[in-house]
Structure 1
Amino acid sequence: MVRVGLTPERLTLAGAELADEVGFDQVTVSALARRFDVKVASLYSHLKNSHELKTRIALFALEELADRVADAVAGRAGKDALAAFADAYRDYAREHPGRYAAARLRLDPETAAASAGVRHAQMTRAILRGYDLTEPDQTHAVRMLGSVFHGYVSLELAGGFEHSAPDSQESWAWIVDSLDALLRNRATP
């Protein structure tokens, strides 16, 4: 590949693509250098180390996922918004498994506070406003939704539902319906 034009942004995108191909845990500066057919040392003018590369990929993935979820939930409310949020989350993980894994990277508090992770929490809380939850129930619900979506997606990506009935899409719809019912029942009278 051509060496001209290497930038931190281009390296981040290439790292995200590499993560989807080989897995996020396999992304290193060395692997990225091989992808561009350059020496590892030439990338260190753009990146400090593999941790910075992985952090950049995580931030990229969080932003990309937040944009997708925002588009999906725009103009929706209640169960419709919940289902759109859940489907966007699941579809992203299935289409970009390496990027999804990157989005789970533990970030230092300062980086996390400036990341799109804040947008994810705000969108989740916006959806939950349709269920009239008060604190601390709203915080519990944010954590529950994140846990359920991440748990299901992780099991599905690992092949956990491939050879069993009913179809995993049917189970997904059942889960979203059940979450909607639970949230409606937890609403403050």
Structure 2
Amino acid sequence: MASRPGLSRSIIVQAAGELADRIGLDKLTLSEVAKHLGVRTPSLYNHIDGMDGLRRELSLLGLQELDRRLQRAALGKAGDQAISAMLQAYRAFAKERPGVYATTLAPAKDDELLRSASDAIIDTVLTVLEPYQLHPDVAIHIVRGFRAIGHGFATLEVANGFGMPFEVEESYERLIATFLLGLCMATESKSPTT
């Protein structure tokens, strides 16, 4: 079967990402993507391997975009300023691309390309942490904390989980400041057990 001129894997994935962000990943179907693109559903199979293949491509797209945003946020900055900017970028990505972001949360460990894209994000954060001279084990704990802050706050925010009449931005800035204080304390001890 010939593929429709102008239709490509990239176009399909971009369209699916836009839809996932708008309607939610749980409602994303191949028929919705085909309708959005103005094609018949079977046309998509010339470029992607069904819904599982599409989700894999969305995950790759999301991981790569998140890494680019984190790198861009840290550009020209160092130390606490870089970490703070990256946490702001993480939160912004999770809020702006909720459907695509959802595909990045647990990439398949047996997929080398996805694992590599996920590892690239970790490497980006570890690179920014280098000036703190952390023990490698401590650095991994800090990376996990970094992710938990960006993910947890944005997820609660998207779900309207902050109902009290306090400025959400100030809450996030205070959370980042507290994290940075903890990071400062972690630099005082190079041991992985403290």
Q: Which residue of 2 aligns with 1:148?
A: 149
Matches of 1:158 and 1:135, distance apart in 2? 34
User: Which runs of 5 or more residues in structure 1 are unaligned?
Assistant: none
Q: Which residue of 2 aligns with 1:106?
A: 107
Q: Which residue of 1 aligns with 2:192?
A: none
**Alpha-carbon shift at residue 186 of structure 1 (Å):** 1.2
Percent identity at matched positions?
30
Q: Which residue of 2 aligns with 1:67?
A: 68
**Any idea what SS the aligned residue of 1:47 has?**
coil
**Is 1:182 aligned to 2:173, yes or no?**
no
Question: For this pair of structures, how many residues does the alignment match?
Answer: 185
Matches of 1:149 and 1:90, distance apart in 2? 5
**Alpha-carbon shift at residue 42 of structure 1 (Å):** 1.6
**Alpha-carbon shift at residue 178 of structure 1 (Å):** 0.4
Amino acid at match of 1:167: E
Are 2:17 and 2:99, in contact at CA under 8 Å, matched by a contact in 1?
yes
**Alpha-carbon shift at residue 105 of structure 1 (Å):** 4.3
When normalised by structure 2's length, the TM-score is 0.89
User: Which runs of 5 or more residues in structure 2 are unaligned?
Assistant: 190-194
Are 1:132 and 1:188, in contact at CA under 8 Å, matched by a contact in 2?
no
Write out aligned runs for 1:95-174 (5 A): 95-109=96-110, 110-115=112-117, 117-161=118-162, 163-174=163-174
Q: CA RMSD in A?
A: 1.5
Q: Which residue of 2 aligns with 1:84?
A: 85
Could you report, residue by residue, the CA deviation over 1:137-159 in whole angstroms, capped at 9, with x for unpaired residues?
A: 11111111112221111111110
When normalised by structure 1's length, the TM-score is 0.91
**Any idea what SS the aligned residue of 2:80 has?**
helix
Question: CA 1:52–1:138 in 2, change beyond 3 Å: closer, same or farther?
Answer: same
